[in-house]
Amino acid sequence: MNNFITLGQFIIEKQAEFPYAKGELSRLLRDIGIATKIVNREVNKAGLMDILGSAGNTNIQGENQQKLDVYANDQFISALRSGGECCIVASEENEDVIHIDSPVSKSAKYIVAIDPLDGSSNIDVNVPVGTIFSIYRRKSTNGKASLSDVLQKGTEQVAAGYVIYGSSTMLVYTTGCGVNGFTLDPSIGEFCLSHPNMKMPENGVIYSINEGNYVHFPIGVKKYIKHCQVEDKLTNRPYTSRYIGSMVADFHRNLIKGGIFIYPSTAAAPKGKLRLVYECNPLSFIAEQAGGRATNGTTPILGLEVTELHQRTPIFIGSNAMVLEAEKMMVLTPGNEYINDLA
């Protein structure tokens, strides 16, 4: 413990690796880290407080907002507004972007996109939930930043990360120079470096998908699921099925142990369900920096054009070899037709 490195110390030490190293990005990451501690505190005492259950509203996604969704969203926006290092916050919980109108923030260089509480519907049953964030550099140089500053490809991210609130609380992030993980030490209230230079195994034995929707999947996804279930000692199959229902939790496990997470298009959601800006782009950036792979089945996630704030996409993300194998299955089925039977 005499040699531990805190998140703040690590960010300062690595500041020179940032492409625009003048301190703003370091302070922005610090502000996000502070907000995660506040949200973590409320998540950990959720069962003792009147913050469980629905808030009685629906968000722009058409989903029921949980009380903790609203709380987490407010905390991150407040922290980013106080820090003054970003000019716009784009949140999964808000229909439009939020302009930070303080005198300092109007000229700020960064944009933050955030899913304040991923998997919040699981909070009532004590399943790990998380926060996902993404940081872009503002493109416009004159006047007030606009939506066009937010609609950037994932390749333009300067930093991305997530926090998992589980048996321990971890913050994992990248600035394009590898992936590092920090575990919150509650005794000192600091995130400490616990997983330096994280690497996703090239292959794995875990596949994560909601098989309850099997009948509605494209035939290529069905073929991949059958591939995972076939016995083959040379490739360590059959694979193990593990699906938590919280993307951060499933991704975090696969990052450490190796595996693939799939949320494909379905007959009811042909464009997919997960959000490109708040969920898929940041986790894909992390996956690639850790040696993994992320596609929509045919095209790298980070290369997708972003045309809408709440754009959705299918995603195949995880160990490089497993994602490549899944992509082959999709290519083998032109059009990825939907076949509504159990064949």
- Each residue of 27-82: pLDDT tens digit? 898 899 999 999 998 888 766 556 555 555 655 565 556 788 888 999 999 999 98
Site of tokens 């875990």: 206
Neighbour tally for 130: CB within 10 Å? 28
Residue 75, burial from CB neighbour count under 10 angstroms (0-12, 13-18, 19+): buried
pLDDT value of position 268:
86
pTM passes above 0.85: yes
Instruction: Name the 3-class secondary structure at 26.
Output: helix
pLDDT classification of 343: cutoffs 50, 70, 90: very low
For residue 86, give both structure tokens. Answer: 């970003």
The confidence score (pLDDT) of residue 341 equals: 43
Phi and psi at residue 338, to the nearest 5°: -90, 125
User: Can you give the pLDDT at residue 265?
Assistant: 92
CATH architecture of 206-336: 3-Layer(aba) Sandwich (3.40)
Which pLDDT score is estimated for 56?
A: 54
Long-range interactions of 58-63: CB distance < 8 A, separation 24+: 59/92, 59/93, 59/94, 60/92, 60/93, 60/94, 60/95, 60/310, 61/92, 61/275, 61/310
Distance from CA of residue 54 to its chain's centroid?
23
Closest alpha carbon to 79 in 105, 103, 58 = 105
How much is the pLDDT for 105? 63
Residue that has been written with the tokens 């997919």 in this structure: 272
- The pLDDT assigned to 310 comes to 95
Span 7-195 CATH architecture: 2-Layer Sandwich (3.30)
| pLDDT band at residue 17 under the 50/70/90 scheme | low
Amino acid residing at 171: L
pLDDT at residue 1 greater than cutoff 80: no
- At 59 the pLDDT is 57
Q: How does residue 25 score in pLDDT terms, banded at 50, 70 and 90?
A: confident
Express each pLDDT in 295-334 by its tens digit: 999 999 999 999 999 999 999 999 999 999 999 998 755 5
Of 137, 325, 110, 140, which is closest to residue 237 (Cα–Cα)? 325
pLDDT, position 342: 37
Q: Are strands 260-263 and 240-241 parallel, antiparallel or unpaired?
A: unpaired
pLDDT at 49: 59
* Across 206-232, average pLDDT: 95
The residue type found at 125 is V
Kindly state the DSSP code that residue 277 receives in the 8-state scheme: I
Question: In the chain, what are the domain boundaries?
Answer: 7-195, 206-336
Residue 84 pLDDT grade (very low, low, confident, very high; cuts 50, 70, 90):
confident
Report the C-alpha gap between 208 and 117 in whole angstroms: 20
pLDDT 10s digits, 112-149: 999 999 988 787 788 899 999 999 999 888 778 889 99
Burial class (CB in 10 A: 0-12, 13-18, 19+), 104: exposed
Q: What is the spatial distance between Cα 335 and Cα 220, in angstroms, rounded to a whole number?
A: 9
Averaged pLDDT, 188-211: 96
Per-chain mean pLDDT for the chain: 88
Residue 63: per-residue pLDDT = 59
